[in-house]
Every structure is written in structure tokens, then in C-alpha cells.
Amino acid sequence: MVILTTYNIGFAQKSNTVSSRWALGVGGGWYGMPEEIMSKLVYESPALRGSTYFLKLSYEEGTKSFISTVFQLSFVYEKMSGSGIWRYKKNWDSIKGSIDLTQYLMSISTIFNFFNNLPLNPYFGIGLGLGKLDIFVKGQLVKDIEIEEQDEIGLYIPVLYIPIGLRLKVYDLFEIKVETGFQNGFYMGGILSIYL
């Protein structure tokens, strides 16, 4: 209790000297696209699961306020895979096999930090951007399993980014985030950001 109180006092004194700041963050975690989302991109596909990695540059205003606002630029790389029935369009032949998807995303978002006067605070945000999907499918035709087939598809798609998380600030040095949310799929991960 004494240690936490001392830390809060020290944090408050330190934060009073800063009203805005830049931060550079890196992170990663788990990522998945359910069938319902994939069906919006292609005619038929199984759910895909994999990993996500990101680089984030952010500018925070109102660091001394109860609520601070962060403007964030994100670059994201995601690699996913799955297996099952795949069909790009309705008039295409169905393929049963493995699906690999690589996704490159860039988004601009606004993040709102609540209870910002505490070292540990929740946050919520929303952002928009643009993404590039590269999809590779290999397997057998459903109508004739003797025939091997493969598809390679490239798509440009809009990005909707909705993060929810907890942020731990360590004085004016760095912050650690545990974040989940939606980014054209569902994800959960961690972010380490250094104040510039």
C-alpha cells in the first residue's frame, strides 16, 4: 500500500511537467478472422487464425487531464492460415485444402484514455485505414478430388480499427498496453511504447 501510494505521488509530480508527448510502440499477439468476415471478402472460406505484429506512432494531448486524446498512425502485418472449403466467387470451382492469408494494414485512429491521472488506465478508440490481402489456396477440387488446384488472390480493402485496452504508464519513460478489439478481425496482444 505504501509502495503504491509513493508511486502515485511520484507519478503525479512527474506527469505535471508534461502536457503532450510522442510515443513509438511495437507489439504483437493473436489474430483471427471468423467465417462471417471472410464471407464478406470471398464467396466461401473457413475461419482463419494466426499472428499480428504492429508498429505504432502516436501523439498524446492532455496528459495532465482526466481524459487524454491520442492520435495514432499504425502499420500492421498479419499472417493467418486455415483449412476447409474455399471459393473466391460463386461461379468458381470449390477447392478443399489449405488457405494462407497475409494482410498489410495502415490506419489512422483516435484513442481516448480515461482516468488518465492514474498510472493504470483504460482506453477506447476508433480508426479507419486501408489494407492489402494476399491469399494463397492449395488443394483438390471438390467436384473431382483427383485434380489439384490452387488460387492466388490479391485484394485491397478498407480497415475498421476499434481497440479496447489497459495502459500502464511508467513515469515519463514508457508504457505497456494490453489490448483487444476489432481490426477487420478479432485480436488480442500487447504493446510496448517508448516516450520520445
Contact predicate 105/134, CB 8 Å? no
131: region left, alpha or beta (phi > 0 left; psi from -120 to 50 alpha): beta
- Taking residue 154's Cβ as centre, other Cβ atoms within 10 Å add up to 9
Closest C-alpha to 173, from 142, 143, 194, 149: 194
At 18 the pLDDT is 58
> Could you list the pLDDT tens digit for every one of the 196 residues in the chain?
544 444 444 444 444 555 788 999 999 999 998 888 888 888 888 889 999 999 999 999 887 778 899 999 999 999 999 998 888 888 888 888 888 999 999 999 999 999 988 899 999 999 999 999 999 988 888 887 777 888 888 989 999 999 999 999 998 899 999 999 999 889 999 999 999 8
How many helices (H) does the chain have, and how many strands (E)? 2, 8
Q: What is the CATH number of the domain that holds 17?
A: 2.40.160.20
CA pair distance 79, 100, nearest whole angstrom: 8
In the chain, what is the straight-line distance between the N-terminal and C-terminal CA atoms, in Å?
31
Please, which residues have CB within 8 angstroms of residue 150's CB and are 6 or more apart in sequence?
A: 95, 136, 137, 138, 139
Q: Write the DSSP symbol of residue 118.
A: S
Name the residue range of residue 20's domain. Answer: 2-195
Domain tally, the chain: 1
> Could you give the angle at the alpha carbon of 21 between the alpha carbons of 17 and 24, nearest 5°?
135
